[in-house]
Amino acid sequence: MNYPHLKKLFFTTTFAFLFLFPVFTRAQHVWKPMDPKTTTQKFSTLLFLIDNFYMDTVNMQQLTEKAIIATLKDLDPHSAYISKKNVKSAEEPLVGSFEGIGINFQLFKDTILVIAPVPGGPSDKAGLRAGDKIIKVNGNKAFGPQITNDWVMKHLRGKKGTKVMVSIYRKGAEGLANYTIVRDVIPLKSLDAAFMLNKTTGYIKLNRFARNSTAEFNQAIDSLKKQGLKNLVFDLRGNSGGYLSTAREIADEFLAPKKLIVYTEGYHSPRQNLYSTEAGHFKKGKLIILIDEGSASASEIVSGALQDWDRALLIGRRSFGKGLVQRQFRLPDGSVVRLTVARYHTPSGRWIQRPYNQGVEAYYHDLQKRMKHGELIHPDSIHFPDSLKFYTASGRIVYGGGGIMPDIFIPWDSSRYDKLYSELIRKGTFNTFVNEYLNNNRKKLQKKYPHFKSFMANFEITPALFNIFLKDTRQAKVTLKPDVLQRNTNFYKLQIKALIARDLFDQNAYFEVLSPMDHAIQKALEVMKNKTAFKEMNIKTQ
């Protein structure tokens, strides 16, 4: 199985721009200056010799970049080099914005299909709708095998204030309609969903710790409070991290003042302690955090701090295990290096970084190793040495050295997320079916279900509709095994309903539709209803 959420860990890292200083030494070490003759002069001399005496022409810039990449690989898995041309796109997810026309899209049969315009964005203001197909961009053909995600980014993104003309095909309309769109700044949301699971329990899912995440989180909390929020399920599954400062702010939302959230320390960086404050939107109430093998870095700072202070009960599987802090340095040509400058520790003193002495490749294949050992299915396969034992504020035992272990384990559902499901996703079977269905039924559905609540309560994937999906699946040459299909029919139907909801309403609707069959969410609701669960584990609720 592939785990796309783990690939983000190469680029999404925890930074400490505000809290770390460049050159200090720890008392127990003696700092020695670098000898230029054996380092910088030696390397620059080599480059000079290659450039002037090597038998063939050499791309010196490329050679230098390869040397930098190889050097950083030898340090740790999270120090990284980003070339000048990739800096902007690498920073976008954390900065929280880009400049373009503002659409969510997918490539459907070599055509750019508008899933939804960003509300209030340039495309929304211009009149683009979900289901529109972009046939031309500035008069040039925008369909066919040459159309890739990179092509779309290159032609539709651009500086704020610049114009682009798109020619749209809309079902039911004659010919193509031309729209001139003025590009603008488009916000990237880090909060996937926020809704009420029942009358008193809310749910928030955060996909990264970006610059605007705290504001998004607070807005969501305020909205849920108006709907009766008393308890919260905070979903950090698959969240690979982000800014250290944002992690501190999010943890501060839950903790009483003057509580240590995290401390960082490195050879050239003296210990820095980050504490909670008086601020915070959810200091009281039952709190459950969902984590899994894709929860890393800033996610582990938050979940580790709240576990150490017995403020939250953690449900899920052991987290990724990243306890290193990166700081970004700009190089002379505009490229950047994200260099690991410190380790971070949870309040109890845990350093949760997993070993990386076997090399970068082995480090990022650790998930396959965990699966092979049965860790994602059976928690008993996980063993921590006593030397890594630590204690929470109430005396509960927790461990360092390889991620955050949840208080309640939820196994990976291998029967549901099996080879068949992976093939359906890989071949785009769900999306293809939903796109065709909405292409023919969008107006009728919008009229029948003007609000999400009515859709959630009343819309069903009928047997006849599901049979059409199965027919399409067979045409896509997907082998349907009767036993697997029978076991997962309800799950597949829910996937289809969720995708339709996302298209008709928003991303929030997608997660809300799926929540009744999400084992971790349902376990969280079960624990919330248990009057003694939080007391038995000494979890504070006020």
User: Which amino acid, 29?
Assistant: H
From 123, 326, 353, 495, active-site residue: 326
> Domain locations in the chain?
97-187, 191-412, 419-520
CB atoms within 10 A of CB 453: 11
97-187 under CATH 3.40.190.10, yes or no = no
Report the topology of domain 191-412.
Answer: 2-enoyl-CoA Hydratase; Chain A, domain 1 (3.90.226)
Contact 82, 72 (CB under 8 A): no
Determine the residue type at 255. Answer: L
Burial readout 178-210 (b: 16 or more C-beta within 10 A, e: otherwise): ebebebbebebebbbbbbebeeebbbbbbbbbb
Q: What is the largest CA-CA distance in the chain?
A: 78
Domains 97-187 and 191-412 share a fold: no
Cα gap 361→371, rounded to integer Å: 16
What are the residues whose beta carbons fall under 8 Å from the beta carbon of 168, sequence distance 6 or more?
Answer: 128, 132, 133, 134, 135, 176, 177, 178, 179
Angle made by CA atoms 273, 278, 279, in degrees to the nearest 5: 100
CA distances for 374 relative to 49, 271, 293, 414, angstroms = 53, 37, 13, 11
Q: Is 146 a catalytic residue?
A: no
Per-residue pLDDT of the chain (542 residues; tens, 9 = 90+): 444 444 444 344 434 333 333 333 334 455 677 888 999 999 999 999 999 999 999 999 999 999 999 999 899 999 999 999 889 888 888 887 889 999 988 887 788 988 878 877 899 888 898 788 999 999 999 999 899 888 998 999 999 999 999 999 987 788 899 999 999 998 889 999 999 999 999 999 999 999 999 999 999 999 999 999 999 999 999 999 999 999 999 999 999 999 999 999 999 999 999 999 999 999 999 999 999 999 999 999 999 999 999 999 999 999 999 999 999 999 999 999 999 999 999 999 999 998 888 877 777 777 677 777 667 776 666 666 666 899 999 999 998 888 999 999 999 888 788 888 888 888 888 988 998 899 899 999 999 999 999 999 999 999 999 999 999 999 988 988 888 888 999 999 999 999 999 989 989 999 999 999 999 999 999 999 998 999 999 999 87
- H helical segments located in 356-481: 360-364, 366-372, 419-426, 429-448, 452-458, 463-475
Residue 134: what are its φ and ψ, rounded to 5°?
A: -85, 110
The three-state secondary structure class of 108 is strand
**What is the C-alpha separation between 34 and 240, in angstroms, rounded?**
35
Task: Please give the model's pTM, rounded to 2 decimal places.
Answer: 0.86
- Per the CB < 8 A criterion, the answer to whether 258 and 275 are in contact is yes
CB atoms within 10 A of CB 124: 17
In the three-class reduction of DSSP (H, G, I as helix; E, B as strand; rest coil), residue 438 is classed as helix
Say which of 190, 245, 295, 297 is annotated catalytic.
297
Backbone angles phi and psi of 299, in degrees to 5:
-60, -35
Active site residue 322: yes
Is 326 a catalytic site residue?
A: yes
